[in-house]
């Protein structure tokens, strides 16, 4: 599992897709989610605006599993 380090309270699923290189632009998020299964914390998710916070796990089949990590935790 890879870490996605964020420096804000949350990111959206669409932003996470771009950060993982599953899509090349934010505008592709809606299309990607309509054509591919994506799981957040083990449940299927198709809302590009879904807020992802520290410790959420995103599973994008054929791309990878990613854990959202707050850049400021542990400082």
**φ, ψ (nearest 5 deg) of residue 17:** -60, -40
Predicted confidence at residue 53, as pLDDT, reads 96
Give the model confidence (pLDDT) of 61-70 as tens digits.
Answer: 999 999 999 8
Predicted confidence at residue 72, as pLDDT, reads 76
Residue ranges covered by each domain of the chain: 2-70
Return d(Cα 5, Cα 2) in angstroms, integer.
10
Return d(Cα 11, Cα 46) in angstroms, integer.
15
Fold of 2-70: 3.10.290
Cβ(38)–Cβ(48) below 8 Å: no
pTM of the model: 0.88
DSSP code of 22?
Answer: S
């Amino acid at each position: 599992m890879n870490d996605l380090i964020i420096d804000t309270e949350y990111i959206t699923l669409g932003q996470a897709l771009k950060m993982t290189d599953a899509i090349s632009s934010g505008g592709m998020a809606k299309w990607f989610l309509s054509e591919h299964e994506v799981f957040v914390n083990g449940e299927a998710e198709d809302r590009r605006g879904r807020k992802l916070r520290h410790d959420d796990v995103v599973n994008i089949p054929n791309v990878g599993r990613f854990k959202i990590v707050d850049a400021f935790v542990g400082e």
